[in-house]
Amino acid sequence: MPAIPRVLQDPGSHFFLFGPRGTGKSTWLAQTFPGARVVDLLDPEEQRRYSARPERLREIAAGAPSGAVIVVDEVQRVPELLTVVHQLVEKRVPARFVLTGSSARKLRRGGVDLLAGRALLRSMHPFLACELGDAFELERALREGLVPLAWDAADPAETLRSYVGLYVKEEVQAEGLVRNLGAFTRFLEAVTLSHASTLNVTEIARECEVSRSTVDGFLSILEDLLLSFQVPVFRKRAQRLLSVRPKLFLFDAGVFRSLRPRGPLDRPEEIEGAALEGLVAQHLRAWCEYSGGDERLFYWRTKAGLEVDFVVYGPGGLWAIEVKRARDVRPRDLRGLRAFMQDYPQARALLLHLGQDHLRVGEVDCVPCGEFLASVVPGRALA
């Protein structure tokens, strides 16, 4: 399969590049910096070498030509290298450092703060529909997700089944992040029931038969491993009583589908609806981060139960976005958006649906979901 150009741009200075495994960080780096010196810490021999002697990186930088790029892949595996990089950056060595990671846990505790202000932060997300172009298929994206590792695989379903197992083995188990791996595995299944829903820690704890504090720790691990993210409530100039809990999303619709338990009590439409909302969420989140501005992603829910799935707010505008799995737009589908527009008449209201028609119902634009996702291009306004 030919390489698919990504929207991420080289920031032109030292930077961290975070992203879950399989999102294409190494591929993008190889394409962007073809002559870079790569320190691959996924290689056990390389990891042992730099763990024993992290100052070796200083010698590599001293021998590098002016303008060289030094990539340290999966830097969280030897966080001591961050101290060396910090020293080299302070001395203004002529080389440029690119540090990648698929786990922010160790770096958050000891590394990123050390380089704050000296290295930019960038993220690599799953494919966007605009990156895939004509190859994007909404049904396939909902079924298999958009993680490049799975998208390019001969058997995407099998790749997704082994994907989280790889994380559990190489990150959670190897680093000793949890004492009870069985409880964490049960948590991974239980947390999918909260995907695209308001986060209820007590309910997850009851499902997993562990304490609330244990679930809080597991959620922190999941977020540190970049496998999930939370969307807060939009509260700016609130005129109603609002929910206080964030929404939880796994980072990719395909990973969600592979983890979600299925059985006689699991309605397919619930799973498909959560997958669709998650797919929109990952696009909007990527759009906010890739665009490089101050746009932020929220949702809106009142104590009375009125809800808007997503609110995007920033200097570029205010968007209220509702996602419906139906092919036809019904009046009740617009209740949340209309309530939001009463409070924020300057907002642009969008309802995304699975039909084919573009509709204008009052102040709400109703847009086919696949077309909307294809129009989500970083650096451009939302449709």
Q: For 154-163, 249-258, 330-339, which range has the lowest pLDDT when averaged over its residues?
A: 154-163
Q: So what's the pLDDT on residue 169?
A: 67
Q: So what's the pLDDT on residue 128?
A: 98
- Strand pairing class (359-361; 364-368): antiparallel
**Average pLDDT for the chain:** 91
Please say if the pLDDT value at position 234 is more than 70: yes
Q: For 111-115, 121-125, 236-240, which range has the lowest pLDDT when averaged over its residues?
A: 111-115
The residue assigned the tokens 């999966």 is: 74
Alpha-carbon Rg of the chain, whole angstroms? 22
Q: Which residues pair with 300 in a beta bridge?
A: 308
| Rounded percentage of the chain residues whose pLDDT exceeds 70 | 94
Q: Map out the domains of the chain as residue ranges.
A: 15-123, 129-232+251-263
Distance CA 295, CA 291 (A): 8
**Can you tell me the mean pLDDT for 25-44?**
94
Please say if the pLDDT value at position 136 is more than 90: yes
**Can you tell me the mean pLDDT for 23-51?**
95
> What does the angle CA 25 – CA 142 – CA 299 come to, to the nearest 5 degrees?
85
- Strand pairing class (228-231; 296-301): unpaired
The answer to whether 230 and 247 have CB atoms below 8 angstroms apart is: yes
Tokens of 304: 């009375």
Burial class (CB in 10 A: 0-12, 13-18, 19+), 10: middle
Q: So what's the pLDDT on residue 165?
A: 78
Q: Considering the entire predicted model, what is its pTM?
A: 0.93
Please say if the pLDDT value at position 223 is more than 60: yes
Q: So what's the pLDDT on residue 176?
A: 64
Tokens of 214: 């244990």
pLDDT digits (tens, 9 = 90+) for 51-80: 999 999 999 999 999 899 999 999 988 988
Distance CA 270, CA 282 (A): 18
**Can you tell me the mean pLDDT for 173-186?**
75
Architecture of domain 15-123: 3-Layer(aba) Sandwich (3.40)
Tokens of 268: 């397919």
* Confidence label for 167 from pLDDT (cuts 50, 70 and 90): confident
Q: So what's the pLDDT on residue 25?
A: 94
The answer to whether 63 and 134 have CB atoms below 8 angstroms apart is: no
The answer to whether 293 and 315 have CB atoms below 8 angstroms apart is: yes
pLDDT digits (tens, 9 = 90+) for 295-327: 999 999 999 999 999 999 999 999 999 999 999
* Confidence label for 18 from pLDDT (cuts 50, 70 and 90): very high
